[in-house]
A = this chain, B = another copy of it.
Amino acid sequence: MEEFNYYNPVKILFGDKQSQIADILKADGHSEVLFVYGQSSIKKTGLYDEICESLKNANVKFIEHGGVSSNPVLSHAREGVQKAKDITAILAVGGGSVVDESKAIAAAAGMKCDVWELYEGKEVTSALPLYVVLTLSATGSEMNAGSVLTNEETKEKLSFGSPLVYPKVSVINPALTATLNENYLVYSAVDIIAHVLEVYFTAEEHPKIQNRFCENIIKSVIKTTEIILKNPNDIDARGEFALCATWALNGLTSLGVGECSFPNHMIEHSLSALYNVPHGAGLAVVIPAWLKWFYNETKNTQVDRFAKKVFGKKNAHEGILALESWFSKIGAPITLKELGINKKDVDKIIKNIVRVAPKWDLEKIYNPDVLKEILNLV
């Protein structure tokens, strides 16, 4: 066990509780908020009306900032900051992208700085309080302190983190995810598994309790995804899926494991920055390739353990193939072609990674030759 610090003050309201958020905002002293949401889905489902009505009933005024895209972009976040001049809190209603862009707006408005400075490393010293109603469980952003945004001009997809952007309250209502497009459920499943696997494979240490904790989440994601694909209205399965998403990236999996890195995210961020593919779709393509490279390179026994514990397979090789097959079986892409990316673009992708990714990651392991090796395994 390595030393660690842990702090996660997000209040989770799990269940049919989205109508409470307006009263909570009021009780916390907010009389005008920025209401951030995505594309048209919350208008179709009636959630938009429900939120507007509860805000009105609670006498909380709001300025709307809709249209957040699924890979949220800098220009739209900047517009949000402009609108946030006179409000005291942000209400994010949507999935991880809406929450991530809201964190950007919360910090940039709180610090009166340009949004992109945050992603370039400016320390966050102030942020407007953030309240969340989650409509898609995947990124874990509802219970963590991180945010990812794409600068669509420079094609950079970067992240920042600060305890100041932890949501104050996150409502997670699994029933709200039941209208979700099936593809997005699949991408979400891959994203959750990716969050767990990055830590599981790259950590310095592997305490048994953490190994089992990670395997538990992955097994639940596999099982509940299959149930939900058969029966989209199984709210119990959606509930367990939602808990998996939150646990996968709220800090619990990395307690005591020492340093770890996110190489699959590093590579995928360049795919979605360049081609605007869904993050989970990109990860489904990257993970099996990275894992083949990683096992070839390190013969790390964690991969054997993963194969046995998660898929009941005899060895690492079979386990990697089982994961890849499962991605394919649920409908996730596993080749660049399926993502609509030409294999000839590999050098262009590597250039983007080298330009954007954290320097220490690149210098330590992922030089362009290694990246080429990995991408050639796709």
Which residues of chain B have C-beta atoms less than 8 A from A12's C-beta? 4-7
Q: Please, which residue of chain B has its CB at the minimum distance from the CB of A223?
A: B208
Complex-state Cα separation, A9 to B12, whole angstroms: 12
Residue A240 CB within 8 A of the other chain: yes
Beta-carbon contacts under 8 Å, A231-285 to B: 235-236, 239-240, 243-244, 252, 255-256
Known contacts: A216-B209, A240-B208. The answer to whether A4 contacts B15 by CB under 8 A is: yes
Give which listed residue, B13, B235, B244, B256, contacts A14 with CB less than 8 A. B256
23 contacts between A and B (CB under 8 A): A1-B14, A1-B239, A1-B240, A1-B243, A2-B15, A3-B14, A4-B14, A4-B15, A6-B11, A6-B12, A6-B14, A7-B9, A7-B10, A7-B11, A7-B12, A8-B8, A207-B239, A208-B220, A208-B223, A209-B216, A209-B217, A209-B220, A213-B213
- Which residues of B sit under 8 angstroms from A216, Cβ to Cβ? 209, 212-213, 216
Query: Which residues of B lie under 8 Å from residue A3 when comparing CB positions?
Result: 14-17
Are A1 and B220 interface neighbours, CB within 8 A?
Answer: no
Given contacts A4-B14, A15-B4, A255-B14, contact A212 B219 (CB under 8 A): yes
Residue of B nearest to A6 (CB): B12
Partner of A209, one of B208, B240, B252: B240
Is A174 engaged at the interface, CB distance under 8 Å to the other chain? yes
| Chain A, interface SS category | mixed
A-B complex: 9 closest residue pairs judged by Cβ atoms: A3-B15, A1-B239, A9-B9, A212-B216, A6-B12, A209-B220, A7-B11, A4-B14, A207-B240
A374 to chain B, nearest CB (A): 31
B220 & A243 in contact (Cβ 8 Å cutoff): no
What B residues does A244 contact at CB under 8 A? Answer: 209
Each complex incorporates copies of this chain amounting to 2
How many A residues touch B, CB cutoff 8 Å? 37
Taking A7-B10, A209-B240 as known contacts, 17 extra A-B pairs with beta carbons closer than 8 A to each other, sorted by chain A number, are A1-B174, A1-B239, A1-B240, A1-B243, A2-B15, A3-B16, A5-B11, A5-B12, A6-B12, A9-B9, A208-B219, A208-B223, A209-B220, A209-B244, A212-B219, A213-B216, A240-B256
Residues from chain B with Cβ under 8 Å of A212 in the complex: 212, 216, 219-220
| CA of A6 to CA of B6, assembled, Å | 16
Measured CB to CB, the nearest residue on chain B to A13 is B5
| CA–CA, A207 and B247, complex, Å | 14
Structural contact, B243 and A255, CB atoms closer than 8 A: yes
A14–B2 Cα gap in the complex (Å)?
8
Partner of A236, one of B1, B16, B219: B1
CA distance A120 to B3 in the complex (A): 39
Is the CB–CB distance between B7 and A209 below 8 Å? no
C-alpha spacing A207/B220, complex, angstroms? 10
> In chain B, what residue has the closest Cβ to A236?
B1
Interface string of A155-188 (1 = CB under 8 A from B): 0000000000000000000100000000000000
